[in-house]
Amino acid sequence: MGKKVRFICEVCGKDIFDYPSRSRKTCSRKCFKIYYNSKRIKIKCRFCNKEIFVLECLNRKYCSQGCKNLHQSELNRGSNNPFWKEVKKDFSYKDNILWDEWRTKVFERDNFTCQCCGERGSQLEPHHLKSKACFPELVYDVDNGVTLCKKHHRLLHKIVPSNSILIVKEFPLSILNGSK
Q: Which of 40-49, 50-59, 85-94, 139-148 has the lowest mean pLDDT?
A: 85-94
- Strand partners of residue 15: 8
Q: What's CA 20's distance to the chain center, in Å? A: 45
Please report, for residues 15, 47, 74, the alpha-carbon distance to residue 80 in angstroms, rounded to integers and kept in the order given.
54, 17, 9
Map out the domains of the chain as residue ranges. 1-38, 40-75, 93-177
pLDDT band of residue 170 (cuts 50, 70, 90) is very low
pLDDT category of residue 163 using cuts at 50, 70 and 90: low
Amino acid at 39: K
Cβ neighbors of 42 (< 8 A, separation 6 or more) are 51, 52, 53
Write down the mean pLDDT value for the chain: 81
* pLDDT 10s digits, 15-29: 988 888 887 888 999
